[in-house]
A and B are shown apart, each in its own frame.
Chain A
């Protein structure tokens, strides 16, 4: 495995990554944000947002107008949690962020109403909300969800995506002052599904968000997660796990914006790939603005390539505008399956198939174990089993 580990020293101006040919150097904070799809040009390789994705892959989600989502939305929640459909005049609509690319803007403008889920301030840690999104509609459609975690609230919100939809989605996550919540987005679609999801989190004073993206099934899965601190003492953990098999494309884009002092962020994404043309992309942008003294951040992405013909792109970007930080680092590594590990396990009587599973499961375990919810942990373990089973390894 090749590993690059670096802790970027304090005085550091701009991003240190190199762009591909033709991609203009751009400061991350200068990127366009708009709710209007007309402000965004076509999906093209020239722009950083679309460096890896193609319009073809997006299957219509980059059009000007999408249908409104008409699939199922099921919800399970304890008493005290409220739900409502709200229009763009509602104060929570757009409170956590604005689109940064064309598919997100297309979905924004096409979903007239947003599904608002509110966790009240007295919600306790065992408050679990399950939102099931299940659709077989293959015309490109738009969905907007807002999770409003009121100050001091606790709880977990699970977004569970299933079916064969072509879905453009925006998810806003408002984390009130002193709130501590977990949001898990599971993409467990059928093989034909195309899903572009932009998830925006805005964190209040001393609040904590643990956000997790689990991408398993679907033809094209592109999830962009951004977290913005609005007051000091915020703490965000962005976790991700993905398993791509033949022909599947999974892209995860992360953006953590440290705009205020003394906030902490951790980004940990792990992916396994197997099969011909399995392709994953991970882009991790972290911006530490001038004012964000005392920032503590670390991001990591690891990919395990189980077979030939799979490709993992991994691009960490760290922009640091102040020297007065606690720490900032990143690590990124993509490696082939280690045959010596396989040999070791087989030499103890474990057959090849099971040995591979042990290694893959072990690799992804680090993420799964952080969920802190046994039901979901075992469901994900089972899904990984099924993935391994499906590709017959």
Chain B
């Protein structure tokens, strides 16, 4: 049983107009096996939270802490966090020219498990996961995210989630830009990975449609850099019906 604690998190970024505070005291606790959905208007700071957990250098933590099983995450480098079991599926995965998917996946797997995976089982695992995500096997020879469609990039993120087996996964709008079929395939991939590894899930989304496939235990409304309200799955339905107006005005 693992636990990820975010306590009174304040985060700033440098902008042309000077330092800007984006997260203004976020409190959140996620345990293994739990699914948390975060919903909120554009620009409220959802991606900032995701990136800060992963350790993106653009964001500066000015107050608060993030603990993974009591360990200080903020002290860790980006790769140390990943090796400690944190995973972020990016909203906009970048292209890496000249680096093949197969090389990338093997390098990442080796880094995370501390030893190179046995070749035969690894190839089988990759194939299996790709088949399940309805990704063509030729993707392994292509360069990371290069020329991938929006939907293909998202599948590739979930492929990594399945193969790297983290303790906690943050999915930043993985459902955006997916058609109905792809949404189902990707959601099933997340559920499969979760069933296999029992990770804690933080799902950032604008839409309730993904929540039909991935049932959240908790829903958090994120407004202006903090959590404005939390509840169960029923909160998502209410947000869909009413929007964020009453939080934004409040």
Please state if A351 and B79 are interface contacts (CB–CB under 8 Å).
Answer: yes
Q: Mind listing 20 A-B residue pairs with CB under 8 Å?
A: A338-B94, A343-B54, A343-B78, A344-B94, A346-B82, A347-B90, A348-B79, A348-B111, A348-B112, A348-B160, A349-B164, A350-B107, A351-B79, A358-B103, A358-B104, A358-B107, A359-B99, A362-B97, A362-B143, A364-B98
B130 an interface residue at 8 Å Cβ cutoff? no
- A298 at interface (Cβ–Cβ under 8 A)? no
Shortest CB distance B62–A (Å): 20
What is the chain A residue whose CB lies nearest that of B92?
A: A340
Q: Which chain B residues lie closer than 8 Å to A351 at the CB level? A: 77, 79, 111
Q: Is B57 an interface residue (CB 8 A)?
A: yes
Please report which residues of chain B, range 61-100, place their CB below 8 angstroms from some CB of chain A when the two chains form the complex: 77-79, 81-83, 87-88, 90, 93-99
- With both chains docked as a complex, state the minimum distance between the C-beta of B92 and any C-beta of chain A, in angstroms: 9
A366/B108 in contact, CB under 8 A: no
For residue B56, CB closer than 8 A to chain A, the reply is yes
Residue of B nearest to A338 (CB): B94
A345 to B111, CA, bound (A): 10
Interface residues, chain B, CB within 8 Å of chain A?
Answer: 54-57, 77-79, 81-83, 87-88, 90, 93-99, 103-104, 107-108, 111-112, 143-144, 160, 164
Docked pose: A362 CA to B107 CA in angstroms: 13
Number of A-B contacts (CB under 8 A): 80
A362 near B56: Cβ-Cβ < 8 Å: no
Cα–Cα distance between A340 and B90 once the two chains are bound (Å): 11
Q: Please classify how large the interface on chain A is, using the bins under 10, 10 to 19, 20 to 34, 35 or more.
A: 20 to 34
Output the least CB separation between B87 and chain A (Å).
8
Residue A363 interfacial (CB < 8 Å): yes
Given the interface pairs A339-B57, A343-B78, A362-B143, the reply to whether A348 lies near B98 with Cβ below 8 Å is no
Most B Cβ at <10 Å: residue of A348, A361, A366: A348
> How far, in Å, is A177 (CB) from chain B's closest CB?
37
Mark contacts of A352-393 with chain B using CB atoms, 8 A cut-off: 1 yes-contact digit, 0 otherwise: 101100110111111000000000000000000000000000
Please state if B79 and A344 are interface contacts (CB–CB under 8 Å). no
Chain B CB within 8 A of A341 CB: yes
In the bound complex, residues from chain B placing their C-beta under 8 Å from that of A365 are 98
Q: A339–B96 Cα gap in the complex (Å)?
A: 11
> Shortest beta-carbon distance, A270 to chain B, in Å?
10
For the complex formed, measure the closest distance between the CB of A242 and the CB atoms of chain B, giving whole angstroms: 16
Closest to A364 in B: B98
User: In the docked arrangement, what's the CA distance between A361 and B54, Å?
Assistant: 25
Q: A343-B78, A344-B93 are in contact. Are A350 and B111 (CB under 8 A)?
A: yes
List of 8 A-B pairs having minimum Cβ-Cβ separation, nearest first: A362-B98, A346-B78, A349-B111, A348-B108, A349-B82, A362-B99, A349-B112, A365-B98
Complex contacts, A347 vs chain B, CB 8 Å: 54-55, 78-79, 81-82, 87-88, 90
Measured between alpha carbons, how far is A366 from B160 in the docked complex, in Å?
25
A291 to B234 Cα, complex, angstroms: 77
Contacts A349-B164, A361-B98 given: A354-B107 contact, CB under 8 Å?
yes
Whether A362 contacts B112 in the complex (CB less than 8 A), given A343-B56, A344-B90, comes out as no
Measured CA separation A343–B94 after assembly (Å):
9
A318 to B144, CA, bound (A): 33
CB distance from A61 to the nearest CB of B (A): 35
B99 touching A348, Cβ below 8 Å = no
CB distance from A198 to the nearest CB of B (A): 31
